[in-house]
A = this chain, B = another copy of it.
Amino acid sequence: MDALKALQTELAAFAADRDWDKFHTPKNLAMALSGEAGELLEHFQWLTPEQSELGALPSDTLQGIEEEMADVLLYLLRLADRLNINLEAAANAKLQLNAVKYPVEKAKGNAVKYSRRGE
């Protein structure tokens, strides 16, 4: 995930150049990330599931969604930088955990995970 790491470094320089590190406490970055996730949500809130699919979304809505997703990633990388977290390793670890938690033979064809909230 060299490109991800490169982006993280670039973002750190971007913030340092502007004296923004004082604003970018982990607490504040978590808030900003959550705010962007809320904006992402707003694009989808009145759509049916079918209307939210790639083929059905108007191009300007899709463009807006792409920008909110970029914002979420940028704040995620900024937060990873401030907390010295290796996002790629963390995501891979979580995926391995999920593979154990939801084995194909048990998960397939039923929705045991999806009968409860969250993960």
Which chain A residues have a beta carbon within 8 Å of chain B's beta carbons? 1-4, 7, 10-11, 14, 17-20, 23, 25-28, 30-50, 52-54, 57, 61-62, 64-67, 69-74, 76-77, 79-80, 82-85, 87-88, 90-95, 98-99, 102, 104, 107-109, 111, 114, 117-119
Contacts and interface: CB of A to CB of B under 8 A. Distances in A.
12 contacts: A20-B107, A26-B65, A30-B52, A32-B46, A33-B40, A34-B34, A35-B39, A37-B38, A37-B72, A70-B91, A70-B93, A77-B91
Contact of A52 (B27, B54, B71): B27
Given A33-B72, A36-B38, A73-B73, 15 more contacts: A3-B3, A7-B95, A17-B104, A18-B107, A26-B65, A27-B44, A27-B48, A30-B43, A34-B34, A34-B41, A36-B119, A66-B90, A69-B76, A73-B90, A74-B94
